[in-house]
Amino acid sequence: MRFGRLELLHILLAVVVLTFAFAVVLTSSTAAQLGLSYLDAFGYSIGISFLIVLTGFLLHELAHKFVAQRNGAWAEFRVYPFGLILALAFAFFGFVFAAPGAVYIQGNITRRQNGIISISGPLMNLALGAIFLAFWFVMPSSSIFAFILRWIGTINLLLAAFNLIPIPPLDGSKVIRWNVPIFVLVFAITIVLLLIGLGIIAV
């Protein structure tokens, strides 16, 4: 993949802001689940949040970029300044607005190529979510690693489901315009795994 210098700066900024935002949201539940003080829980949450951002956000965007470049398009990540502000503001109300930016794509691409580029991000989240939940499933439930794996897996699936909502400018709107059966299949699998991660479906 080819990266611009400005793009790398934007990626770093987005990762730092999102990591802090997720850590703020996760600290209370981490303290309760692991029996830690708030300060210790925040330290743990920074580490967990970095893994969430690395997998759920960064690899999602890099999947878009990789597939776009493979299809001959120009593709670079740019932050939305307002998106960064919203991520920080919402975090203190217990919610992460995980849309600090996006991969901008330019080039003469077909509807099919656009659909494939668009679905690559949610598919990355879906694959990672499934892998993390699979490891969580075989871990002792009292293990701290089980707690971390479940959080990372579930948030990846939540991000996949959100991005697959078929409303512009979300990925789902371009995927459904390209291929409805593929959209339905991927969305259905994502929702089922998400419900498992949330504990709504018992396995």
Reduced 3-state DSSP string for 66-100: HHHHHCCCEEEEEECHHHHHHHHHHHCCCCCCCCC
Query: Tell me: the pLDDT tens digits for 39-93?
Result: 899 999 999 999 999 999 999 999 999 999 999 999 999 999 999 999 999 999 9
Global confidence as pTM: 0.92
8 Å CB contact between 161 and 135: no
Question: Is-catalytic flag, 7?
Answer: no
Distance separating alpha carbons of residues 52 and 32, to the nearest angstrom: 19
DSSP 164: T
Domain limits of the chain? Answer: 1-109, 111-203
Across the strands, what pairs with 77? 103
Q: Which of 17, 31, 56, 61 is catalytic?
A: 61
| Predicted confidence (pLDDT) at residue 114 exceeds the cutoff of 80 | yes
